[in-house]
Amino acid sequence: MALKLEPGTRLVIATHNPGKARELAEMLEHRFDVVTAADLALPEPEETESTFAGNALLKARSAAEASGLVALADDSGLSVRALGGQPGVYSARWAGPGRDFDLAMQKVEQRLDAAESDDTAAWFTCALAIAWPGGPAVVVEGRVDGALTFPPRGGRGFGYDPIFMAEGRRQTFGEMDPAEKAQMSHRARAYAKLKAALV
């Protein structure tokens, strides 16, 4: 079934993470009337799925039903090959209840040290889901591969950005100009697929 999202549609971004909300709002190119789950004081559903796509869909459906609006949700995270793909869907949880990503990055470094591995390969995955209240939904995924670097570098971006360098880049996502990151990140790749799906 072909789905279409008309410009100017009121859309809720199903996140309480201001960095994620900002990146998604910028990707939407101000084509929609955007509010966030935080703006509407919507509850944060428990992320009970085992995949990024499953959690993105869960969050989008929850926000759509709670708000009565079309909802866009993101579930994304960092996976490290030497750690068997961890933290993966638990990326935010590694930061603890205070969302302390300095702590989360330390945990990644400590786990790598404990694994005694010099394999720094890692990737970011982003699943985007858009859901209509009581209606259909679309889920897509984007991925960017790269490597970890320590200590963290750069104060731009958010989350694990200061320890991740995309393939072929010498800057971390935390050092990269936001416009440059927006052109090639996992979130950008997922959004390109989402736009293609919403014909």
Return the half-sphere exposure (C-beta side, CA atoms, 13 A cut-off) of residue 117.
16
The pLDDT of residue 137 is 94
Stretches in the chain below the pLDDT threshold 70: 1-2, 199
The pLDDT of residue 1 is 42
The pLDDT of residue 199 is 57
The pLDDT of residue 29 is 76
* Angstrom distance (rounded) from CA 146 to CA 197: 27
* Angstrom distance (rounded) from CA 171 to CA 185: 13
Q: Which is the catalytic residue, given 33, 39, 74, 75?
A: 75
- What topology is assigned to 10-197 in CATH? Maf protein (3.90.950)
What stretches of the chain show up as alpha helix (H) in DSSP?
Answer: 18-27, 52-67, 101-115, 178-184, 186-197
75 is annotated as an active-site residue: yes
The pLDDT of residue 3 is 72
Sorted by where each begins, the domain ranges of the chain are 10-197
pTM of the complete model: 0.89
* Angstrom distance (rounded) from CA 72 to CA 11: 7
Per-residue pLDDT tens digits for 32-58: 889 999 999 999 899 899 999 999 999
The pLDDT of residue 140 is 96
Per-residue pLDDT tens digits for 70-90: 999 999 999 999 999 999 999
Question: What mean pLDDT, rounded, does the chain reach?
Answer: 92
